[in-house]
Amino acid sequence: MTVVSSKEFVSNDGKYFDMALNEQVFVKRGNNIFHITCSNMNIKEQAILEPDDDLRTAITKEEFKAKAHGIIHNFFANR
């Protein structure tokens, strides 16, 4: 495990990305610590997520628009 400052990481980012292939690398910035991880998947593969509860309860843009119009209409009708 390696912990470096953000300044050190920026100065030698390639070194720490290479290290992250074999060990945990953490970057400390202020009170926050960031964990550098390596994935063999490309970004497009990572963007394809399994459905979860948030997705199951999501509404379409059209449904949102209809509900928003109704709320706005009721708001101004009651004034």
For the stretch 65-75, pLDDT in tens is 988 888 888 88
Residue 31: inside a domain, yes or no?
yes
| Contact assessment for residue 34 and residue 11, using Cβ atoms and an 8 Å cutoff | no
Residue 45: inside a domain, yes or no?
no
Residue 24: inside a domain, yes or no?
yes
* H helix runs in the chain, sequence order: 6-11, 13-19, 43-47, 53-56, 61-77
Residue 9: inside a domain, yes or no?
yes
Residue 25: inside a domain, yes or no?
yes
| Contact assessment for residue 36 and residue 20, using Cβ atoms and an 8 Å cutoff | yes
DSSP E strand boundaries for 1-79: 2-5, 25-29, 32-36
pLDDT tens profile 23-49: 889 999 999 999 988 776 665 655 566
Mean pLDDT for 46-53 is 64
* Residue 14 belongs to domain spanning: 2-40+50-77
50 pLDDT more than 70? no
Q: What is the pTM of this model?
A: 0.50
What CATH number did the domain enclosing 66 receive? Answer: 3.40.1620
User: How many domains, in total, are found in the chain?
Assistant: 1
What average pLDDT does the chain have? 83
